[in-house]
Structure 1
């Protein structure tokens, strides 16, 4: 049998982060789905627009690093449900922007305390210093993403 590269998947950081993210997202998504009939993508759209009203669907996709098609579908479902409204940008009539409706804000305002309580429970095993270190490390890794992606691109070439 030929020798093969070894990848300890359970120690491979991208895999570990992905598994953790999926587990956390699925746990909280069950709550959003059962209480508000929201998918993960729909919640993320509401969350971003609750914080940054007036973004286009493309800007929401960029800010969340989600697929543009998935964001577009979520936006359409939220528009159909009356949770979002689409308006023409005041400075650029060719551009449409999104904002939460009162129904959207009602859901947003109901979910935020649940989301923050979930975060507190998740972080409860860490002391203040560990939480600060985790925050700095996540920021550092996020900032290094472009450089790491360059390694992948170089490997393709």
Structure 2
């Protein structure tokens, strides 16, 4: 299903959903659905790019987080949150990165039950080598939005991310 078809499906189902489940706040439910469908579309957009590179999108982003972090290290939970995937999925990603020699796992210095993931030289090399192949599709992902629209989307997404945390305490 293409993005426009997913969008039309959401639009067609909004009123029936509101009637069937009147306790759900209509506007907020629409926003949640739009964000989820946009995230799905973004993942779908990049699938072929990463398939050609022999990595998953989450593997690539985990390597990006590691290569840009202090000392090239992060905990599995940090990687999970910064990449935007579940902890069980990040565990699978880390196993794959280890298997490929892109990252290594060590016991934490303060708590041996916790692990620290470190990017290897091979991991640094591969992420730097593959990044030019990702740069074009990344630049094109939001090409239909002008600079001002991209800035507004950036600001609103940042505000939403903080809002989700604050909503937990209301």
After TM superposition, the score normalised by the length of structure 2 is 0.71
Q: Structure 1 residue 99: deviation in Å?
A: 1.9
The Cα offsets for residues 47-90 of structure 1, whole Å up to 9 and x where unpaired, read as 2212222111122123334221111111011101111122355x
How many correspondences in the alignment?
146
CA distance, structure 2, for counterparts of residue 18 and residue 93 of structure 1? 36
Q: In structure 2, what is the equivalent of residue 81 of structure 1?
A: 100
Residues 1:13 and 2:31 are matched in the alignment: yes
Unaligned runs of 5+ in 2: 1-18
Q: In structure 1, what is the equivalent of residue 88 of structure 2?
A: 69
Q: What is the aligned-residue RMSD (CA, Å)? A: 2.6
Match of 1:4 among 14, 20, 27: 20
CA distance, structure 2, for counterparts of residue 22 and residue 107 of structure 1? 26
Q: Structure 1 residue 93: deviation in Å?
A: 6.3
Moved over 4 A (4+): 6-9
Q: In structure 1, what is the equivalent of residue 115 of structure 2?
A: 96
Map 1:2-151; keep pairs closer than 5 Å: 4-5=20-21, 12-36=30-54, 38-52=55-69, 53-89=72-108, 91-92=109-110, 94=112, 95-149=114-168
Q: Structure 1 residue 118: deviation in Å?
A: 1.9
CA distance, structure 2, for counterparts of residue 4 and residue 35 of structure 1? 45
SS at match of 1:144: helix
Unaligned runs of 5+ in 1: 152-157
